[in-house]
Amino acid sequence: MAQTKCRHFSGYKPCSKSQSCDSECASFDVPKLSILIVHLGALGAVVRSTSLLKAIKRKYPSSMLTWVTDAPAHLLLQNHPAIDRVLTTKEADLLQLRALEFDVALVIDKSLKAVGVLQYTQVDQVFGFSANPRNGAIVPATPAAEELWQLGLDNQKKFFENKKAENQLMIEALELGAFQRDPYWLPLSGPEQELLQLRRSQFLTNSKKWVLGFNTGCSNVISAKKLTVEFHRLMITSLQSRYPEAQIVLLGGPEDTERNHQISQGLPVISTATESGLRDGLISVAACDVVVTGDSLGMHMAISQGKQVVAWFGPTCAHEIDLYDRGVSVLTKSPCSPCWKRACEKNIMCYDQVSLQEIVHAVESCRTNSLSGGLATGNSTSEALSSDLA
């Protein structure tokens, strides 16, 4: 008899785990709880929230996880070993949500849209954030989310008083137990691991020994999170003369295509594909040993793949980012940083006040750590987590 309560049973096609659907199947697994994660936010923030998955599994063992996010973030989460179902906020996916019920919802975004997702399903208990139905104000779903909520209302607290990374604040707000500093969890698939090795071998030609990646851009939401084309060229020239054995590669997304073309003019660098999709970009990041980046999706990708990271910060808060002892944060000298402003009219911008010397020294530190730990061979952190989950 078909085991309809098994997490792998769909009811409309044969299960890929076994040819026979019975309780003797080695993959037979009946979830005890159904958990909904709602995180629509920026792509980098979604990558960072994969660090919550181990804590969720500790608090809710044998749970079935459904994650709702905005496209295209769902592409990053698909086929994740800890996530059973990934849905977007598109109408067809929200219709699927109407057919489901959940024991617990974890609403990570402080937005009406995220809270509104709950109206498409039934949930027994909500952690994180909810909304006042009268005026639409975002409020903590439980007292535990008060601290994270208050940081969004008070710049003094957010910019100068808070010393916790966002990972810890989320764990506490969602009541997921004691903070254990779990790493990001964004593993590559088997075929992606093979492509990673191929790409790395393509990078390491002409006697090059290690790969230095430059994530050159960011989204247009806070455009001041990227350095100028001229500064990138200056960094590359300086670092190439210092490390001739390093292969420098330019990383980025579709919005960085023309920018990377300008940066690479006349320089012996490799420009990676910028329009081949998020997962392909993740593979290029994973093929690097050290990544120099602003506070962007590329930074979070590099953290997720266990890379040595040199991250510079201008308008955003360095203390909110955990590099997991695998990198260096370089802060702008601008006296008005951080500000989180989406637009700025100052003549001298925060990205104009980043020290080239500090970045060069940070690369040296990261290079040493990368060499002592062995050069990049893939995401060992994610592989270990996957094995631990199994």
What is the domain-level CATH number for residue 268?
3.40.50.2000
1 within a domain of the structure (yes/no)? no
* Same domain flag for 206 and 77: no
* 309 phi, psi to nearest 5 deg: -125, 130
Residue 229 banded pLDDT, cuts 50, 70, 90: very high
Do residue 244 and residue 139 come from a single domain? no
* Rg of the chain taking only CA atoms, in angstroms: 22
Whether residues 352 and 207 share a domain: the answer is: yes
Residue 18 domain flag = no
Angle at which helices 278-286 and 190-203 pack, to 10 degrees? 60
Q: What is the pTM of this model?
A: 0.92
Q: Rounded to whole angstroms, how far apart are CA atoms 309 and 303?
A: 7
Q: Is the peptide bond before 72 cis (omega within 30 degrees of 0)?
A: yes
Q: Are residues 210 and 135 in the same domain?
A: no
In a domain, 292, yes or no: yes
Residue 90's pLDDT is: 97
Q: What are the residue ranges of helices labelled H in the chain?
A: 43-48, 53-59, 74-77, 91-98, 112-117, 146-151, 155-156, 166-173, 190-203, 229-242, 257-264, 278-286, 297-304, 356-372, 380-389
The residue out of 138, 173, 208 marking a domain boundary is: 173
4 occurs within a structural domain: no
Q: Tens of pLDDT along 208-217? A: 999 999 999 8
148 closest CA partner among 188, 91, 120, 108: 108
pLDDT at 48 over 90: yes
Dihedral of CA atoms 153, 39, 98, 125 in degrees, nearest 10, equals -60
* 133 within domain boundaries: yes
Q: Are residues 139 and 167 in the same domain?
A: yes
Do residues 304 and 77 make contact, with C-beta atoms less than 8 angstroms apart?
Answer: no
Structural domain that includes position 40: 33-173
Judge whether 148 lies within some domain: yes
Tell me whether residue 19 is in a domain.
Answer: no
Interacting residues of 94 by C-beta distance below 8 A, sequence separation 6+? 87, 117, 120
Domains in the chain: how many in total?
A: 2
pLDDT digits (tens, 9 = 90+) for 81-92: 999 999 999 999
30 has pLDDT over 90:
no
Is it the case that residue 383 has pLDDT exceeding 50? no
pLDDT tens-digit readout, 281-318: 999 999 999 999 999 999 999 999 999 999 999 999 99
Identify whether residues 222 and 140 lie together within a single domain.
Answer: no
pLDDT value, residue 97: 97
Give the separation between CA 284 and CA 198, rounded to whole angstroms.
10
If residue 131 lies in a helix (H) or strand (E), which one and from where to where? strand 122-131
Tokens of 261: 């073309």
- In the three-class reduction of DSSP (H, G, I as helix; E, B as strand; rest coil), residue 299 is classed as helix
| 77 within domain boundaries | yes
Residues counted in the chain = 390
Q: In this structure, is the dihedral angle defined by the CA atoms of residues 265, 345, 357 and 215, taken in order, positive or negative?
A: negative
Residue 208 CB neighbour total at 10 angstroms: 16
Tell me: do 275 and 310 sit in the same domain. yes
